[in-house]
Chains A and B, each alone.
Chain A
Amino acid sequence: DTAVSQTPKYLVTQMGNDKSIKCEQNLGHDTMYWYKQDSKKFLKIMFSYNNKELIINETVPNRFSPKSPDKAHLNLHINSLELGDSAVYFCASSQSGFSNQPQHFGDGTRLSIL
């Protein structure tokens, strides 16, 4: 069984479009995250939710809006996509929001903007 699953795995779209990425975890974890890994391979946190409550909101354009309908799901909606949004987006989860907890990652969504 997949612990953290993201859909779609690949997303190719044109500039200006709006798209969503979905994430679900079946580990019973309280905390979920969105990360962006750019072409230079740096993995940077974007958002974190603990029990549906936003706890980390890094400096991310407000075109990016996370939504957590319940603690097992954290979706990411992106408006007006730009070329610089091309990256791999990883969802992750951890037992709690404490930083000594390991994070479990989904296998990523590869977003390409044409």
Chain B
Amino acid sequence: RKEVEQDPGPFNVPEGATVAFNCTYSNSASQSFFWYRQDCRKEPKLLMSVYSSGNEDGRFTAQLNRASQYISLLIRDSKLSDSATYLCVVNGRGSTLGRLYFGRGTQLTVWP
């Protein structure tokens, strides 16, 4: 079983739509969670960290459910510039070392 599982999509939504991505992770001892964004043929960039209580950054809301080992990302009022692949990222087996596991990514296309 992979450390991080994501629905690869693709998700195709109109501008202004709300879209949600989900991700599950296998290691119950994981303590650090992130969403990264990767544009086509570019490097991954940190979108936001995910905190236990859930957190919001503008149009983006991340939620963590430790009991279900489930992470979500909600994007409201989608913009054309949101088109990218969203990577769910989780740290390794309770280690404090920088060993991060990346999901395969969920592809989002926002159309006008």
List residues 97-114 of chain A with CB under 8 A from any CB of chain B.
Answer: 97-108
Cβ contact within 8 Å between B44 and A99: no
Question: Do A107 and B42 touch across chains, with their CB atoms under 8 A apart?
Answer: yes
Q: A43-B87, A99-B32 are in contact. Are A105 and B98 (CB under 8 A)?
A: no
B91/A99 in contact, CB under 8 A: yes
- Give Cα A69–Cα B99 distance, bound, in whole angstroms: 22
Q: Quick one: closest B residue to A101, CB to CB?
A: B98
The number of A-B residue pairs with CB atoms under 8 Å apart is: 62
Secondary structure at the B interface, as helix, strand, loop or mixed, is: loop
**Are B31 and A107 in touch, CB under 8 angstroms?**
no
Contacts A41-B105, A43-B87, A99-B91; A56 near B97 (Cβ below 8 A)? yes
Please give, as numbers and ranges, the residues of chain A lying within 8 Å of B102 by CB-CB distance.
Answer: 42-44
CA distance A107 to B44 in the complex (A): 8
Contact flags A71-114 to B (C-beta < 8 A → 1, else 0): 00000000000000000001000101111111111111000000
B34 is an interface residue with CB less than 8 A from chain A: yes
Distance between A33 CB and nearest chain B CB, rounded to angstroms: 7
Interface residue? B46 (CB, 8 A): yes
A48 CB–B CB distance under 8 Å: yes
Which interface residue of A99, A100, A106 has the most chain B CB atoms within 10 A? A99
Question: Within 8 Å CB of B32, what residues of A?
Answer: 99-100
> Which residues of A, 24-50, contact B by the 8 Å Cβ criterion?
31, 33, 40-45, 48
Inter-subunit contact B49/A97 (CB<8 Å): no
Asked whether any CB of chain A lies closer than 8 Å to the CB of B66, the reply is no
Find chain B residues with CB under 8 A from A90 CB: 43-44
- Chain B residues with a Cβ under 8 A of chain A: 31-32, 34, 42-46, 49, 85, 87, 91-92, 95-100, 102, 104-105
- Residues of A at under 8 Å CB distance from B? 31, 33, 40-45, 48, 55-56, 90, 94, 96-108
A-B CB contact pairs (8 Å), 18 listed: A40-B104, A42-B102, A44-B102, A45-B99, A55-B97, A55-B98, A56-B97, A98-B96, A99-B31, A99-B91, A99-B92, A99-B97, A99-B99, A100-B31, A101-B98, A102-B46, A105-B43, A105-B45
